[in-house]
Amino acid sequence: MYKLGIDIGASHIGLGLYDKSKKKLIKKKYIPYKPYSKIFNKVFTKFITKKYTDLLIRKIDSFLGDKKVDYIGIGCPGKVDPEKCLFYGAKELVVGKINFKKVFAKYNCEVYVENDSNCAAVGEALNNDYNKFFMITIGTGVGLSLVRKTRKKILLASDETIDKIVKLNKKENLNENYIRSFKELSETYNKRQKKILPRDAIFEDLRHNKDILENYLSDFVEGIKRINKEVKIKHICIGGGLSLHKRHFYRRLHEDLSKHEIFIAKNFNDSGIIGAVHLPIKRF
């Protein structure tokens, strides 16, 4: 039998088919997604949410073909309720609350929901030997997760612990984070240069504006140091879209955070899908 993993991102829908007998993904697809509008109000958001879930089902049906699944795991940005299988929506998607158990009832299978960063962390935990590590997924947003493994079981940090980490990442009296998103880095660059370069292209051009990347990385380092004072972390995994550009930042982080072990997600953007097919995960 098969499992379906879904990674809901701000700019894509990731689908992965997991073969339980082979214990690996045998098929994956990333589908670009752009919201119909950035208008976020009760009536319009309800309309777009229905459009979004209809789109999900169409893409899933096309992706699966004649294959049947007995499990669906979904990684969602922002707040979720794993027990009730609820996703509370995301402004980036202009999507409101979704009960995925009801939406996917036609598949007549188990359905699980988790935060997308937690899914990415679980996906990486399956591929390393660390008993505890801090996962940072950096793309359109920033996801922070803490993982512990005991007796071959994977555990995620409680919501209270993650809330504490999120607060530590906030700059005092400023509406800004120390560890910021890939989107914010690219927007800072494009605003100065009056360009509209895609995120993947800005690193090649940043050599003319090194201070932008330097400031970004300096804040990243400060954020890790602040978090480490309260929540001791040694091993740090970087995933998401930024992980694909290791050569532009890894050496600097390795030098400035020499007391930590920094490593890049082995599965890059696929971590979220891989983690989704291994839900549910308990908290510690």
Is residue 151 within 8 Å of 278, Cβ to Cβ?
Answer: no
Residues 6+ apart with CB under 8 A from 110: 70, 71, 72
Average pLDDT over residues 8-23: 92
128-265 and 2-115 share a CATH fold: yes
pLDDT at 186: 86
This model's pTM is above 0.85:
yes
Q: What is the pLDDT of residues 83-105, one digit of tens each?
A: 999 999 988 888 999 999 999 99
In the chain, the percentage of residues whose pLDDT exceeds 90 is 68
Domain boundaries, the chain: 2-115, 128-265
Is residue 177 within 8 Å of 170, Cβ to Cβ?
Answer: yes
pLDDT at 77: 92
Of 44-48, 108-112, 167-171, 228-232, the one with minimum mean pLDDT is 44-48
pLDDT at 43: 72
pLDDT at 198: 76
pLDDT at 173: 79
Q: What is the pLDDT of residues 101-139, one digit of tens each?
A: 999 999 999 999 999 999 999 999 998 889 999 999 998
Mean pLDDT of all residues in the chain? 91
Is residue 106 within 8 Å of 64, Cβ to Cβ?
Answer: no
pLDDT at 40: 64
pLDDT at 193: 82
Domain 2-115, CATH class in plain words: alpha beta
Answer whether residue 34 shows pLDDT above 90. Answer: no
Q: What is the pLDDT of residues 268-277, one digit of tens each?
A: 888 999 999 9
Of 129-138, 188-197, 198-207, the one with minimum mean pLDDT is 198-207
For domain 128-265, give the fold. Answer: Nucleotidyltransferase; domain 5 (3.30.420)
Say which amino acid occupies 231: V
pLDDT at 39: 66
Of 51-65, 110-124, 137-151, the one with minimum mean pLDDT is 137-151
What are the phi and psi torsion angles at 56 (to 5°)?
-55, -50
